[in-house]
Amino acid sequence: MIHVCLPVCSDDAEGALAELVAYQRDVDNHASYAERVKAADDAWTSRRGNKPIRVVREMLLAMCSGLGRCMYCEDSRAHDVEHVRPKALYPDLVFAWANFLYACSDCNGPKGAKFKVHMRDGRIFDVSRKRKAPPPVQLTVDDPLVLGEPLLLDPRCEDPLDFLRLDLDMGVFEEVPSAGLALERATFTIDLLGLNEREHLVEARQDTFQTAESVLGHYVSLKHEGAEPAAIAAKRQAIVRQPHRTVWEEMKRQRHAPGRAKLRALFEAAPEALHW
C-alpha cells in the first residue's frame, strides 16, 4: 500500500469530472440526510456504467501500481471504484473524484461501510453502519460523522509508508508509530483491510521480495557484462510490473538496514534503480 500519483488530466477527464459534479448536485438536492443516502445509492447503481465513470476508471487505472493492481492490497487486479469515505455514510461524496480509489472486490467488499473517524481532541468514534441499517433522518452539526477525519489511511493524499513498515522476510505489515493517533491509524488500516490476515497476501509479498532481489541481481550482471540494452530494460520492466509495489519501495528504504548487505550492494551497483 503506497502513495499513488495523480494522472495527467485530459479533455475527456475534465469533461467527466464536470459530469460528476452534476451527478453530485442531483444527490445533494434531496432535503434529508436519509434521502441523500438513498439517492446516492440509487444514482451510483444507475450511473456507474456511464461514460464519466468509465473515464474515471481509466484515470484510476493509470494511478495503480504494476499492471493495474488494487491500491489497497496491491495483489489482485483492481476493478471496483472504491469510495474512501463510504457512500452509505457520506452521500455528499458519492461522485467526488477526491473520494475515489481503485480496488479489488476482496478489499472493497469487506470494507463496506465500516469506518472510524478521529476528532481534533484525539477521540475516536466508530461511525460504521451495518448493511441495510436505516440512516438517521438528519445529522447534527456536531456528529462525529460530520466533524471527524478518517482513521483509514488514504494513499491518494498521504504516504502510507510514513505509518506502515513491511517486514520483507515475513511479508507482514508493522506499525511505524509507537503511540498516539498515528499508531491507531496504522493499526486500523491493517485490520480493516485484512492486510496481514489474508495468507495469500503475506506469501505473495515474500515471493515478490525474493523475485525482485533475484531480478535486480540479474540486471546488475547484465549491466556489467555489457548486454544488449533491450535485455537490461526487460529486467527493469520485470521489477516495475510486479505486484506489491510496497515490496520494492521497502527494498529501497531498508537497503542500509542490518542484515541487508546483499541488497545494499545491489543498489550500489545499480543506483539508477532507486528511481524506478
Q: Tell me: the pLDDT tens digits for 151-210?
A: 999 998 899 999 999 999 999 999 999 999 999 999 999 999 999 999 999 999 999 999
Residue of higher predicted confidence among 6 and 151: 151
What pLDDT, on a 0 to 100 scale, did the predictor assign at position 232?
96
pLDDT band at 9; cut points 50, 70, 90 = low
Residue 8 has a pLDDT of 58
Q: Is the pLDDT of residue 67 over 70?
A: yes
Q: What is the reported pLDDT for 6?
A: 64
Per-residue confidence (pLDDT) for residue 4, from 0 to 100: 79
3-class secondary structure, 40: helix
pLDDT at 132 over 90: no
What residue spans define the domains of the chain? 11-193, 199-275
Q: pLDDT-derived band of residue 2, with 50, 70 and 90 as boundaries?
A: confident
The arithmetic mean of pLDDT across residues 241-252, rounded, is 96
The per-residue pLDDT for 66 is 87
The DSSP element (H or E) to which 82 belongs, if any, is: strand 80-83
H-state helical runs in the chain: 11-28, 33-47, 51-63, 105-111, 144-147, 180-193, 199-225, 229-240, 245-253, 261-269
